[in-house]
Amino acid sequence: MSLKSLDTASESYDAIVIGSGLGGLTTANRLANAGHSILLVEHHHQLGGLATWFKRKGHIFDVSLHGFPYGMVKTCRKYWNRAIMDSIVQLKNIVFDNPQFSLQTTFERQDFTDILQNKFGIKNEVIQNFFSTIGSMNFYDDQSMTTRELFEKFFPGRSDVHRLLMEPITYANGSTMEDPAITYGIVFSNFMNKGVFTFKGGTDQLIGMMEEELVKNGVKICTRAKVNRIVIEKGQVRGVMAEGNGEERFIQAPCVISNSGILNTINNLAGKDAFPKEFQEATNKVRVNNSSCQVYIGIKDGEIIDDVGDLLFTSKAEHFSSEELLDMHTKSKTFSVYYPKTRPGHNRYTIVASMNARYDDWAHLTDDNYQQEKDNLIKRTMSDLEKYLPGVTDKCDWLEAATPKTFHRYTFHTKGTSFGTKFEGLDVSRSISKVVKGLFHVGSVGIIMSGWLGAINYGVIVANDADAYLRS
């Protein structure tokens, strides 16, 4: 067993990674590959952060929507291993169903072009100009144009086209029409390359393979271990105070990489007083992105369901609205369907329904009201699912709901955010090592760094920074 308790950790390491989301795992792996001694500390009993899973009554449920761009293939081959890369497969049947349109797509550029041209009547020249514009966007572009303005420039007055382009990205990272257009363009053009992909075998297999790679490279992994404080003296990291088995101890390291949320890292783990006033002011302007609700649906052993698609974007709302998606009683949700082919050898069907949500809507309910709202969430979800799988309710043997409070409980993310921060969080995250020597942050910031691909790529960037610091 490679996961150890904190009391087995040494007194000092070259670097300590706090949290085992995909960013933290990748940073730890890259630094170990570079020859550094690494301690990875995770408060939960298993690794993965939001890239996680749980088991109920013979079912394995993946948490959150796990669709990512083709770029994940190259990233996993280069920064993890070929076995992980070879387990990446395409989701070929993406369904959209709402009052404005119903369609199926592979989410590849040519298929999307044909849909925009033939179903929505958009001229090919306009479509290609749109793709070229978003394809050339980068971090350093002007941020004044919003996504709404981008859409109106190319598809004026076409709320149906706006919905087709925006809805899956909002589900993927919480972005809105009022966010900078570059935060949309970069993410959408990544997906529009060759379609949407997932990990064959499920999240549990992916994290298991990553864990094996980490151990092979010498990373010390301690679970059920919580870092209470990053120790900073005279503007420089000295190590962490961490707790495991009810005992707190100091572990020394000249470099600490936090895979906790950026606001949690600054305000709680390091403490505001460790940072200059200007940096605190910039941090105070960082907005937290929204959270999620999910319903986990298990189909009885021996029962089967029809193949209705891999990922279903469904809604009863007349028009797309970021606010409607966040409403506690939203009429919009996605269904991620896991067939036996998704987890070879595990002959069960499961479905995960996902909805964007606000933490504050759930956080202040009484216990009775909270349970009632969860029950209602499950009922609405099953009612909507019956449209695509008639009789599915009678085939279920497990129904369970998660809310923003659930996400907060297991991840410690500020307000249970599923997608980190808005765009301004990226600069704060990148600047943290400039104001406190040896302190780095990796995690979901600025939408672009959200999702599986963004998290891993950001882990590589931060690992390179930390490696340079340690060698200096």
Dump the DSSP string for 259-301: -S-HHHIIIIIIIGGGS-HHHHHHHHTPPBP-EEEEEEEEEPT
For 197, residues 6+ apart whose C-beta sits below 8 A from its C-beta are: 67, 68, 69, 70, 72, 73, 88, 89, 90, 91
> In the chain, where are the structural domains located?
6-52+203-287+419-471, 109-134+141-187, 290-411
Dihedral class, residue 309 (left if φ above 0, else alpha if ψ from -120 to 50, else beta): left
Q: Can you give the pLDDT at residue 68?
A: 86
Contact 170, 322 (CB under 8 A): yes
pLDDT in tens, 329-349: 999 999 999 999 888 888 899
HSE value, Cβ hemisphere, 13 Å, CA-based, for 300: 9
CA atoms of 293 and 404, how far apart (whole Å): 6
Contact 39, 253 (CB under 8 A): yes
pLDDT in tens, 140-186: 666 788 999 999 999 999 999 999 999 988 888 888 899 889 888 88
Q: Can you give the pLDDT at residue 447?
A: 67
One-letter amino acid at 231 equals V
pLDDT in tens, 40-55: 999 999 999 999 999 9
Query: CATH classification of 6-52+203-287+419-471 is 2.60.40.3140, yes or no?
Result: no
pLDDT in tens, 11-43: 999 999 999 999 999 999 999 999 999 999 999
The residues of the chain scoring below 70 in pLDDT are: 1-2, 64-66, 139-142, 447-449
Orientation of helix 277-284 relative to helix 424-435, angle to 10°: 160
Q: Can you give the pLDDT at residue 452?
A: 87
Dihedral class, residue 345 (left if φ above 0, else alpha if ψ from -120 to 50, else beta): left
Q: Can you give the pLDDT at residue 248?
A: 95
Q: Can you give the pLDDT at residue 144?
A: 82
- Secondary structure (3-state) at 4: strand
Dump the DSSP string for 147-164: HHHHHHHHSTT-HHHHHH
Dihedral class, residue 218 (left if φ above 0, else alpha if ψ from -120 to 50, else beta): left
